[in-house]
Amino acid sequence: MTGNEIRRKFLDYFERSGHKVVHSSPLLPANDPTLLFINAGMNQFKDVFLGLEKRDYKRAVTSQKCLRAGGKHNDLDEVGKTARHHTFFEMLGNFSFGDYFKNEAIEYAWDLLVNEFELEVNRMWFTYFEGDADVPADTEARDLWIKMGAAPERVLPFGKKDNFWQMGDTGPCGPCSEISYYLGDAPNDPEKNSPFWVNGPGDTTVEIWNLVFVQYNRTQEPDGSFKLTPLPTPSVDTGMGLERMTMVMQNVKTNYETDLIRPIVEFTAELAEPIANRSFGI
Ligand code: GLY
């Protein structure tokens, strides 16, 4: 399946289930001084999540251009070190604005990955928020994955760094649940396809999709501290890296080898070749 077909399949799947297909917003935020560049699909809906803006739809799906090269989500320092970071990427996402919540978000994710993209269940790992002093453990998300068919030992708790999502220091946020995928050639090896690699080192087990259960607005108080205020209507914000999903579907080892990026690398190499071969007389 090509990268373009994967994007189309994602948009079509959610359109069939009542989501409005909304165009990517430009990379420069129109009206948000808290962000330099768009860093997630939910940015263009920030005020909708906060209840400050109403749209004539309660479900949306997008393929959003994103740039993570600074601020809260900064991939710049990872470029060249990992197989899956390149600062500019496309994020596929489905959104519910006070419509469906955790149950349906997890059902859609399972159905799309298992039945439409036909990913192997024994290569998938699921994570949920383990809880802290401010936000309780999301055992509901854990139980829902197990109800869908995940083996209990493949559903893992993680802390705030991995399983609580916020777009910046302030704004809509909430506990999240991620799906990671084991890409290696030994799915039956309990050392290789193991929890150790989930949110761990290397690129063989990679996060492919993040489901955020948007429940709070994070604000800064005059004394500089931050406060979480529950939102009147819990919502859903998800983000799947198109290039990562394409790496999985095309069974290649890096995002750079997918048909989304490989032609750009080859084109650049062609341009660079005459320069590389030029003799400078030394
Ligand atoms: N907004 C969800 C994500 O960026 O993962």
Q: Per-residue pLDDT tens for 30-89?
A: 888 989 999 999 999 999 999 999 999 999 999 999 999 988 889 989 998 998 999 999
HSE, CB side, 13 Å, CA atoms: give it for residue 90.
20
Residue of the nearest CA to atom 3 in ligand 1?
239
Distance CA 249, CA 84 (A): 14
Distance CA 86, CA 75 (A): 7
Type of residue found at 199: N
What's the CA-to-centroid distance between 38 and ligand 1, angstroms? 11
Ligand 1 proximity of 40 Cβ (cutoff 6 Å):
yes
What's the CA-to-centroid distance between 237 and ligand 1, angstroms? 7
pTM for this predicted structure = 0.94
4-8, 39-43, 165-169 — which is least confidently predicted? 165-169
Ligand 1 proximity of 210 Cβ (cutoff 6 Å):
yes
Q: Identify the pLDDT of residue 70.
A: 85
Type of residue found at 87: T
Q: Identify the pLDDT of residue 166.
A: 94
For the chain, domains (ranges, CATH) are 3-279 (3.30.930.10)
Question: What's the mean pLDDT when you consider all of the chain?
Answer: 95
Work out which ligand 1 atom sits closest to the CA atom of 40. 4
Ligand 1 proximity of 162 Cβ (cutoff 6 Å):
no
pLDDT, tens digit (0-9, with 9 covering 90-100), for 117-127: 999 999 999 99
Confidence of residue 4 (pLDDT cuts 50, 70, 90): very high
Q: Identify the pLDDT of residue 282.
A: 54
What 3 state SS string does 162-212 have? Answer: HHEEECCCCEEEEEEEEEEEECCCCCCCCCCCCHHHCCCCCCCEEEEEEEE
Buried/exposed 245-275: b ≥16 CB within 10 Å, e otherwise: bbbbbbebeebbbbebbbeeeeeeeeeeeee
pLDDT, tens digit (0-9, with 9 covering 90-100), for 176-204: 999 999 999 999 999 999 999 999 999 99
Q: Identify the pLDDT of residue 277.
A: 74
